[in-house]
Structure 1
Amino acid sequence: MIRRILMASAGAFALTGAAFAADLPSRAPPPVFLPPPPLWTGFYLGINAGYEWSASTGINTATANVFSLPALNGNIGGAVATLATGNHSLNPNGFIGGGQIGYNYQFANSWVAGLEADFDGIAGAHRVGSVGQTGFVPGAAVPIADSSIITWRKSVNYLGTVRGRIGYLVTPTLLIYGTGGLAYGGVNASTGVVEQLGFGDTPSPFGTFGSISSTRVGWTAGGGAEWMFLPNWSAKVEYLYYDLGNATYRSALPQFGNLGTLLETIGVTRTSTHFNGNVVRVGLNYHFSWGAPAPVVAKY
C-alpha cells in the first residue's frame, strides 16, 4: 500500500515539474551576423580631368648633303646642310579630360584587382618653336652669306589606355593601387626649313618641309588612390606616365638652284622626336555593385 502511494506521489511530482519547466522563458541562440558582400566588386563608369605635360621635350633635325657641284661658288652643299640642321625644346602640355570604364574584383578581404580602359582628349597641347641661324659659304671666292629659319611643331591630341589595376584597402572605403598596361595616342609633328643665300642668282628663299600625323602605341604605368565616399560613388586621384616611343620623319629634298638657275646642291633632311609624358588627374566613378548592404542576420 505504501509502495503504491510513493509511486503515485513521484508521478504527480514529475508532472508538476514538467509543467513548471514549460512555464519558464526559453533562451534562443544569439543571432549570427554574416559579413556583407565585397564593397568594390563590380563594374563602374566615370569621368576624369587633369593636366598633361611632355617628359621628353627635344626635337632634332639633321640635313645631309647628298649632291653638290664641286668648287662652284664654294661648298654651297655643306653650307645648306649645316644651316638646315638644328634642335629645339618643345613641351606640349595642357588640359586633359575624358572618361573611363572598368571592373573590380575584391578578394582576400583587403585586395582589389581590376581592368580599366579610358580615353581622353588633350586641349592646348600644340607647341611651336623656331631657330634662326646665319653663316657663310666656305670656299667661295667672294663671301656669300647663308641664313636659315627652322620651325618645328609638336602635339599630342588624345590619349587612351587599357590597364590592369591591383590595390590594397587601407580601410574598407579607401583603396591604394598601382596600374599599368597599354597606351595609345594621336601625335603630330612637323619641320619646315627656309634658307636664303645672299647673292643675286637666288631670287627667292628655298627649303623643305616634312611632317608626321599618326596614332602611336606604347605603354603606361602609374598609381593612385580611390575613396568610396558614398554607396556606389567613389573619387580618385591618379598619376600616369606614358611612352609612345620615338618618331622619325623625312622632308622633301631641299635643293638650291631654282627658277632657271643651275642646280648646285641637293640634301636630305630627317627629324626625330620622342612622344612621352605625364598625366595627373582626378576622377569620379559610379559603381554598379549597389553599395554596401546591411549585414545579413541568420534566424533559427
Structure 2
Amino acid sequence: MSSVIALTELLESRAMKKIVVALIATTALSSAASAADLAAHYTKAPVAAPITDWTGVYLGVSAGGAWGTNEWSSDETAPYRPGSYNTSGWTAGGIVGANIQVRNTVLGVEFDGNWADVSSSRAIGTPFNGLATNIASIDNKIDWTAHARARLGYSFGNWLPFVAGGAAIAGVHDNLNFIAPTAFNGVAYSGYSNSATRVGFTVGSGIDFKVTPNVIARGEYLYDNFGNTSGRLGPPTFDNQVFTLDTHAVRAALMYKFD
C-alpha cells in the first residue's frame, strides 16, 4: 500500500513540474511578444527646435536709397500748382535699439539718425504773379533724417520678419526762386526760402537675419510722410506757399547685439 502511495505522489510531483514549466514558458513568450509589439509601435518624440534669443540691446549702421514726391502750390489769384515733382538720393547713418522676446514674439524700440542727400527741382515757367516774363523754379533738399520706431516681429529661428512704425523727422530746405525779373514796380521779389525741421510719421517692414549669435544683417523698407510746410512771399504779393513731402526708402543694415 505504501508503494502505491509513493508512486502516486511521484506522478503528481512530475505533473506539477510540467504545469509550472509550461506556465513559465507561456509567460516568457507573452512578455517577449509584448516587448516586440511595443518596440514596433514606439516612435521617438521629436526634439523641439531651439528658440533663437533676440532679447538684448544692439548697435549698427545702415545705408540705402530714397525717393519721393514733392508738391508745391501758391494761393495767388489764380491758384498755381505745377503738380508733383520727384526727389531722390541716399541716406546713411547709425541705429540703436532693444528687443524683448516672449516665446517667438519679439517686441522692440529703435532709434536711428542719418545723413541725407535727397533733392529735386523743377522749373515753374511763366507767368507767375501775372508777369509774363517772370520765370521761376522750385527746389527741395533733405539734409538729414531720424526715426523713433516701435517694432513687432516673429522669430523663425535665425530669421525675424517685422513691422515698424513711429515718428519721422527731417531737416528740409524749400525754395522758390525768381530768375527774371527781380523787381516789380520798384519793389524786389525776395522769393521764398525756408529751412525747417519737419516732423511726420513713418511705417515700414523688413527682416533681420542672425549671421552669428551676435551679428545681425537687415533689409527693410520705410515710408516717411513729412506733411507740409508753408510761408509767405515777400512784398508786393505776400502769396502763401505750401510744400508737401513724402519719401520711400530701401535700406540695408549691419548690427551687433550685446548679450
* TM score, norm. by length of structure 1: 0.63
CA deviation digits over 1:43-71, x for unaligned, max 9?
000000101111x322123324xxxxxxx
Q: Of residues 119, 144, 147 in structure 1, which corresponds to 2:113? A: 119
In 1, the alpha carbon distance for the partners of 2:177 and 2:81 equals 11
The alpha-carbon deviation at position 203 of structure 1 amounts to 9.6
User: Would you say the 8 A contact 1:50–1:280 is kept in 2?
Assistant: yes
CA deviation digits over 1:126-145, x for unaligned, max 9?
2222122259x8xxxxxxx8
Q: Of residues 47, 60, 63 in structure 1, which corresponds to 2:73? A: 60
**For residues 212 and 134 of structure 1, do their structure 2 counterparts lie closer, same or farther at Cα, with a shift above 3 Å needed?**
closer
Relative contact order higher in (CA < 8 Å, ≥ 6 apart): 1
In 1, the alpha carbon distance for the partners of 2:221 and 2:81 equals 33
After superposing on structure 2, the runs of 4+ consecutive aligned residues of structure 1 that deviate more than 4 Å are: 35-38, 194-197, 202-206
Alignment root-mean-square deviation, CA: 2.8
**For residues 181 and 203 of structure 1, do their structure 2 counterparts lie closer, same or farther at Cα, with a shift above 3 Å needed?**
closer
2:20 corresponds to which residue?
none
In 2, the alpha carbon distance for the partners of 1:99 and 1:132 equals 41
User: Would you say the 8 A contact 2:109–2:149 is kept in 1?
Assistant: yes
User: Would you say the 8 A contact 1:92–1:156 is kept in 2?
Assistant: no
The alpha-carbon deviation at position 204 of structure 1 amounts to 8.4
User: Would you say the 8 A contact 1:196–1:204 is kept in 2?
Assistant: no
Q: 3-state DSSP class of the match of 1:211? A: strand
2:205 corresponds to which residue?
223
Aligned length, in residue pairs: 211
Percent of aligned pairs with the same amino acid: 28
**Pairing 1:85-96 to 2, within 5 Å after superposition:** 85-87=80-82, 89-96=84-91
The letter of the residue matching 1:112 is V
**Bigger fraction of residues in helix:** 2
The letter of the residue matching 1:151 is S
User: Would you say the 8 A contact 2:158–2:209 is kept in 1?
Assistant: yes
**Pairing 1:133-148 to 2, within 5 Å after superposition:** 133=126, 146-148=132-134
The alpha-carbon deviation at position 269 of structure 1 amounts to 1.7
Q: Of residues 148, 166, 182 in structure 1, which corresponds to 2:152? A: 166
The alpha-carbon deviation at position 251 of structure 1 amounts to 0.9
User: Would you say the 8 A contact 2:71–2:245 is kept in 1?
Assistant: no
In 2, the alpha carbon distance for the partners of 1:146 and 1:129 equals 18
In 2, the alpha carbon distance for the partners of 1:85 and 1:159 equals 30
2:17 corresponds to which residue?
none
The alpha-carbon deviation at position 249 of structure 1 amounts to 1.2
The alpha-carbon deviation at position 41 of structure 1 amounts to 0.8
1:151 corresponds to which residue?
137
User: Would you say the 8 A contact 1:62–1:86 is kept in 2?
Assistant: no
The letter of the residue matching 1:270 is N
The alpha-carbon deviation at position 37 of structure 1 amounts to 8.2
Q: Of residues 122, 132, 143 in structure 2, which corresponds to 1:129? A: 122
2:245 corresponds to which residue?
275
